[in-house]
Amino acid sequence: MFQYRAVLVRLRQGDTDREIARSRLMGRPKAAALRALAIERGWLDPAAPLPEDAAIAEAIGSARRARSTVSSLEPLREIVARWAERDVSGVAIHGVLRREHGFAGSYSSVYRMLCSIGKNRPPEATVPLVFAPGEAAQVDFGAGPTLFDPDARRPRRTWCFVMTLCFSRHQYVEFVWDQSVPTWLGCHRRAFEWFAAVPERVIIDNPKCAITRACSRDPLVQRAYAEAACGYGFKIDPCPPADPQKKGIVEAGVKYVKGNFLPTRSFRTLADLNDQARRWVMEEAGVRIHGTTREPPLERFAVEKPFLHALPPIAPDLGSWHRVVVHRDCHVQQARMLYSVPFTLVGKTLWLRATDGAVSIYEDHRLVATHARGRKPGHRATVRDHLPPEARAFFAQDRAWCANQAAAIGPACTELIAWLLADRVVERLRAAQGVLRMGSTYGAQRLEAACARALAHASPFYRTVKTVLIHGYDQQPLGDHANREPYASAARFARDADSLFHPEQSAHH
């Protein structure tokens, strides 16, 4: 009513309707109507007091509204109201009405009815959460800029990790390539080291890297994150599903980073991006007057710091847990790297714990294997004792082993094995292993004699040694062949007809 009282004052002063309209208090027609009403009620008498607002309102009456028509959607109001209670969008409601109820009106009709239904709902009341110093920190991810990843050799989107202390609003900001469990744990470690302290509890959303099953009352925490909470001494406080308002402080913090830090800067690499973010937090974000607390976050952080928990004397060994299956090659795979386990566990599902420097593999709670962690995809870590016995024997009997075993048997065996291993066309390691294994059946002395006979006949092959031992030719004298040079004359190739069908006799003659 203050406009009407102001116009009455000006009317008493003798202003015309045009002058009142020029002052933008009221239009000329309306000022003329008010002048007539004031003359009728005696309100222009300078000696009389101005009327009260209630009297002016009663004299003017309620504003006239345009005559409205009944909407064609009115018979379907109950149906629209039910969908509105379930937060169905107006576009979807309009489509269903046209498709199933024969509604021919426009979307504007649906929008007007949704507005009228919303006005009848009681307003939602909310209470801001207030935190004591050191009580809590809130954590969230936000989308960051796209940068070139030298490892992937392509542009990739980054993610902005933000941890905000709820009392002081002091922040830790870090940009990362992904939201994996190791990244999540590493960001927490660096955030606590940034603050040089740990809050009482950490309020988070329900990301898969932290919560494996979201639930308002019984959430299931990721095993690695639970270990980190025990190591640093903070409590995990996940928000109820679909209720991000419970961590509105960090939500606003992420929005502040995206709106005030990213738009005005350019970045060469991820390291450059994080360097600039750390300087921005200390030089700009930390010294600004915060919109809610009306104090600089760094000043409030100095007050909050004594109430935070101290860092543990030794940083916890943070590791991520993974369910892995043992393949037929006695290895498990994690991050495209292979680690061996005992062959008796082939086909079983195990737990793998990966830290920065090591990989530990467990069957339930029993440690079955430990390896140094690989650094690049394709890495394979194999412990020979994890392989089956036959595989261990094969890999143990390498070239050096064959040479040592042959030297222990005799010079003829040494010469034959050296000839087999020196072949430049065919790999004869299995043949050398087979020759040496015959020593366990026939003895070292007979094997040495068989090798000598095979060399004498210029046939240093596995099959020749085996034939000599099977038929006992090693126990017969070598004769003249022992002193004859191989290929000394063409007489060696002059065989009788019987030797063509019984080649084994050539080793005897």
Burial, 427: exposed, middle or buried (Cβ in 10 Å; 0-12, 13-18, 19+)?
exposed
Which residues have a Cβ under 8 Å from the Cβ of 277 and sit 6 or more positions away? Answer: 173, 174, 175, 257, 261
Residue range 367-418, pLDDT digits in tens: 999 999 998 889 999 998 999 988 887 777 889 999 999 999 999 999 999 9
pTM beyond cutoff 0.85: no
Q: Is the pLDDT of residue 457 over 80?
A: yes
Q: Which of 321, 138, 309, 180 is nearest to 234 (CA)?
A: 309
Quick one: pLDDT band at residue 69, thresholds 50, 70, 90? Answer: low
Q: Is the pLDDT of residue 37 over 50?
A: yes
Quick one: pLDDT band at residue 102, thresholds 50, 70, 90? Answer: confident
- With contact defined as beta carbons under 8 Å apart, do 213 and 222 qualify? no
3-class DSSP state for residue 312? coil
Average of per-residue pLDDT across 155-184: 95
Fold of domain 136-307: Nucleotidyltransferase; domain 5 (3.30.420)
Which sequence spans correspond to the domains of the chain? 2-60, 74-120, 136-307, 320-387, 397-507
Q: Is the pLDDT of residue 505 over 50?
A: no
CA distances from 363 to 182, 297, 326, 369, 488 (A): 22, 48, 11, 10, 66
- Helix and strand counts by DSSP (H, E) for the chain: 19, 14
Residue 401 CA, distance from chain mean position: 47
Q: How many CB atoms lie within 10 A of CB 34?
A: 22
Burial, 318: exposed, middle or buried (Cβ in 10 Å; 0-12, 13-18, 19+)?
buried
Average pLDDT, the chain: 87
Q: For position 494, what pLDDT does the model report?
A: 41
CA distances from 198 to 180, 206, 343, 382 (A): 22, 21, 44, 40
Average of per-residue pLDDT across 216-237: 91
Q: How many CB atoms lie within 10 A of CB 7?
A: 21
Residue range 111-121, pLDDT digits in tens: 988 888 875 66
Question: What gap in Å lies between CA 163 and CA 167, rounded to an integer?
Answer: 12
Higher pLDDT, 196 or 394: 196
Give me the phi and psi of 254, to 5 degrees please.
Answer: -65, -45
Higher pLDDT, 237 or 482: 237
